[in-house]
Amino acid sequence: MPEQSKIWPKHISVDRRIINVLSQSTYDNFPRALKELITNSYDADARKVSVQIDLKNETIVIEDNGKGMSESDFEFYLRIAGKTRSKENDTTSLGRKIIGQFGIGFLSIFPFFKNYSIETKKAGSSSLLFATVPLDKYFINQNKIIDIDSIEILGGSSETKANPNSYTRITLKGFNDLTNAFFYPKEKADKKLIETYSGIDRLKYILSDDLPIEYKEDRYNKIFKTDTTFFEVFINEEKLFRLVYGNELLETHKGNYHQIGKIKFRYSILTPRKSVTPYAARYLKIRNLNVGVGGAREDFGVGHGTTRSRFHWLTGEVHILEGMNEMIKISRDGFNYSRDYEEVKSYLNERLQFYSNKLEQESNLQNEIKQTGKLFRVSDVKLLKKDALSNKIRKFEEHGFDLKIPKFDNLNFEKNIIIDKKRFSVSAESWDYQNEFFPACTVNKNHITLNSSYPLFQGKKYTDIFVKLHVMLLINYQNKILNRDVFKHLMNEILNYYSDYNK
């Protein structure tokens, strides 16, 4: 047992704004609070952080091999001012950009546990520092923090055998209601919704998305030039990696970074060419100095009030390198107003819209191509013309659309449909529907020719229905079930009655 050399109480002067942030904590904030403690390890030049979670005994231990703290370092650690804390350098000895600037990381975990303790030692030192905070003393009434000016820290330092290694170990004990709500969700598990994951799996997902760790796929480490291989985080012995949820890179910054005003950033927009799952991985993750900002990913207004059917196919990231560190909120859930950042958001809004539209058009064309030579619905009469479809494919390819199809010379552009159990091939031409007896289509044996100028064939949603309706009427006329006058009358009535569908 090391000999005790100094016992002290210390105090944290708590800024009112930080009290407000802590008092608004929900169970969703728990992994973000844990992230703040781990990024403190990053700022301390730790190369490895181990997080051990014992749900049965309601204990979490976070241990790193960072530079540790002396008593004067610990006093700085406790200096919570609600504003940027002055330091001589904004980079660590390993060249890492300092992430913590408000000192809120230490306090952020307070609403979630009953007791906090820390033990730390600097390399080569024989002085071991220890401290504890009885958190339940400061939180009452549904985990709201008591209106206090300071929090007392009990602890001290003791002498031990000098050791070349440094470390910091934080032990969190006693789950309160917020922490239990996080670790034991009531919803039925659904792989698409992280809110229904088991508590530990959900924690792994969020921390993997937020922490400055390396990507599992090395090409993204190269794209974002993230020199993070020396910072490793383990949850119950499992190493975390940052994951990417799209296998096709649609766009990234050109050169070393993209710049708007004073803001320098790197970005990527990706797609799996299907709906991104889990849902929380959709849209763009914002990172400042390589650490996640806020919780949900940002759609930059593209999804507001729209029905973009391929928007949920998009995912990606934005890494802010310079220009926004001073604008980050105390809660670290977003940025304060910046004219440059508004322009960044507009730029990313435009890029997301572009790829949402591109994927939609590409998907529609793919569907048309897949329909050729097969039994399928008629969704776009114009594309039944071989030249029309060929020209559209060429146009898409000229604009960089990767349709992943064989050369169109090898495609069978014929479409087939079944009407009354009979198979018909279908093509399209254009004629004056107002002055021809057959305004919509003609039928010759097993082939149907559709009038691409016919008003009810101009849309996409109901075209297949109108095509089959008109073909059936024409076949009934040819089979003399309908006489000439009735057929003509029905053609006029249908066109008038459904005139509002000419879209």
CATH number of the domain within which 40 lies: 3.30.565.10
Q: What's 339's domain CATH number? A: 3.30.230
Q: Are 264 and 257 in contact (CB under 8 A)?
A: yes
Residues 14 and 48 in one domain: yes
> Does residue 220 form part of some domain?
no
Mean pLDDT of 336-359: 93
Q: Note whether 52 and 138 are same-domain residues.
A: yes
> How many domains does the chain fold into?
3
Chain segment 27-67, per-residue pLDDT in tens: 788 998 899 899 999 999 999 999 999 999 999 999 999 99
Residue, of 310 and 393, whose pLDDT is higher: 310
Residue 176 belongs to a domain: yes
Indicate whether 493 and 402 sit together in one domain.
Answer: yes
What's the pLDDT score for residue 121? 94
**If you search the block for the tokens 């030049």, which residue do you land on?**
45
Percent of the chain with pLDDT over 90: 49
Q: Let me know whether 350 and 376 are in one domain.
A: no
Identify whether 230 is part of a domain: no
- In tens, the pLDDT along 480-494 reads 999 999 999 999 999
pLDDT digits (tens, 9 = 90+) for 203-261: 999 999 999 999 999 899 989 987 655 799 999 999 999 999 999 999 999 999 999 99
Contact 97, 90 (CB under 8 A): yes
pLDDT band with cut points at 50, 70 and 90 for residue 79:
low
Q: Which amino acid is at 151?
A: I
Q: Which domain holds residue 117?
A: 3-183
Asked if pLDDT for residue 82 goes beyond 70, the answer is no
Instruction: Tell me what pLDDT residue 400 has.
Output: 64
Asked if residues 59 and 172 have their Cβ atoms less than 8 Å apart, the reply is yes
pLDDT at residue 165 is higher than 70? yes
Pick the more confident residue, 98 or 338: 338
**What is the bridge-based pairing of β-strands 291-292 and 167-175?**
unpaired
Residues 354 and 379 in one domain: no
Read off the amino acid at residue 421.
K
Mean pLDDT of the chain: 84
Select from 199, 198, 196 the least CA-distant residue to 188: 196
Instruction: For residue 461, report the phi and psi dihedrals to the nearest 5 degrees.
Output: -65, -40
Q: Over 70: is that where the pLDDT of 84 sits? A: no
* Per-residue pLDDT at 162 exceeds 90: no
270 and 154 in one domain? no
